């Protein structure tokens, strides 16, 4: 496999060191730098060329959401993997909106980290199984889950096509181009599916769909 350049942005030194140790065990990964906050990362980004960035969500000076937005303005091909602690769940929708492609708990194993890198490098979204289970429990009560699972809402073929692309991280514009339909139609399908499962936002729709195997994310 070709070398993949990785950058780490996190304000916790112990975590950065631990992540570097795990990344150094992956033969094709080359760590090109690290930063303790978003401002320092944005300042050095134009002079480096990372393929993947592991991005903490809560940081001083510039948080993970704003840093991700600014970074993608500089390098639209950057693959950002959000690093989440328990308690960060409310920020995951914002990270998705900002353009993050991967989502990992900070307790992730080396295998999870490697799988996340490989997945985002193919242009797809990555959600760790542990995070999916945690978010499913957070967003849907056990009663909701039981009721929905007894009678999984029927999505049309076109809705499932749209859902698959949403879960893989494509924007409405990109989905529209692939399927030959308008952005408004895409948004209509999204709203219809969210209503069927009582989801409040896109990430709830994504979590439910992956958890219940309506789509498959590699």
Domain ranges across the chain: 4-135, 140-211
Q: Could you tell me which CATH class the domain 4-135 is placed in? A: alpha beta
| Residue 125 CB contacts under 8 Å (≥ 6 apart), including other chains | 101, 102, 103, 119, 167, 168, 169, 206, 217
List of the chain residues with pLDDT < 70: 86-90, 130-152, 216-218
| Residue 146 CB contacts under 8 Å (≥ 6 apart), including other chains | none
Q: Distance between CA 158 and CA 163 in Å, rounded?
A: 8
How would you label 193-208 residue by residue, b for 16+ Cβ within 10 Å and e otherwise? bbebbebeebbbbbbb
What is the predicted pLDDT for the residue at 88? 57
Measuring CA to CA, which residue among 32, 74, 36 is closest to residue 50?
Answer: 32
* CATH dotted code for 140-211: 1.10.10.10
Query: Which helix (H) or strand (E) covers residue 82, if one does?
Result: strand 79-84
pTM for the whole structure? 0.73
What is the predicted pLDDT for the residue at 128? 74
Q: What are phi and psi of 156, to 5 degrees?
A: -70, 165
Q: How far, rounded to the nearest angstrom, does the alpha carbon of residue 193 sit from its chain's CA centroid?
A: 20
What is the predicted pLDDT for the residue at 217? 59
Q: How far, rounded to the nearest angstrom, does the alpha carbon of residue 101 sit from its chain's CA centroid?
A: 4
- Contact present, 128 and 112 (Cβ < 8 Å): yes
Taking phi first (over 0 means left), then psi (-120 to 50 degrees means alpha), and beta for anything else, what does residue 198 get?
left
Q: Do domains 4-135 and 140-211 have the same CATH topology?
A: no
Would you state the structure tokens that stand for residue 187, as one six-digit string?
């948004």
Q: What are phi and psi of 59, to 5 degrees?
A: -140, 155
What is the predicted pLDDT for the residue at 139? 54
What is the predicted pLDDT for the residue at 6? 97
């Amino acid at each position: 496999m070709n070398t993949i350049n990785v950058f780490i942005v996190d304000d916790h030194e112990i975590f950065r060191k631990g992540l570097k140790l795990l990344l150094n065990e992956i033969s094709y990964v080359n760590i090109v730098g690290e930063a303790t906050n978003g401002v320092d990362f944005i300042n050095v980004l134009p002079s480096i060329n990372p393929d993947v960035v592991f991005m903490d969500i809560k940081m001083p000076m510039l948080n993970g959401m704003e840093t991700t937005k600014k970074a993608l303005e500089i390098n639209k091909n950057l693959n950002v993997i959000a690093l989440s602690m328990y308690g960060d769940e409310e920020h995951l929708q914002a990270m998705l909106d900002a353009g993050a492609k991967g989502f990992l708990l900070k307790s992730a194993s080396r295998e999870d980290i490697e799988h996340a890198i490989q997945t985002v490098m193919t242009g797809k979204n990555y959600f760790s199984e542990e995070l999916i289970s945690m978010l499913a429990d957070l967003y849907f009560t056990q009663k909701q889950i039981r009721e929905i699972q007894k009678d999984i809402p029927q999505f049309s073929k076109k809705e499932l096509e749209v859902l698959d692309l949403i879960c893989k991280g494509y924007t409405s514009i990109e989905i529209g181009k692939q399927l030959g339909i308008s952005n408004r139609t895409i948004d209509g399908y999204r709203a219809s599916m969210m209503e069927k499962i009582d989801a409040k936002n896109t990430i709830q729709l994504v979590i439910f769909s992956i958890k219940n195997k309506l789509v498959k994310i590699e």
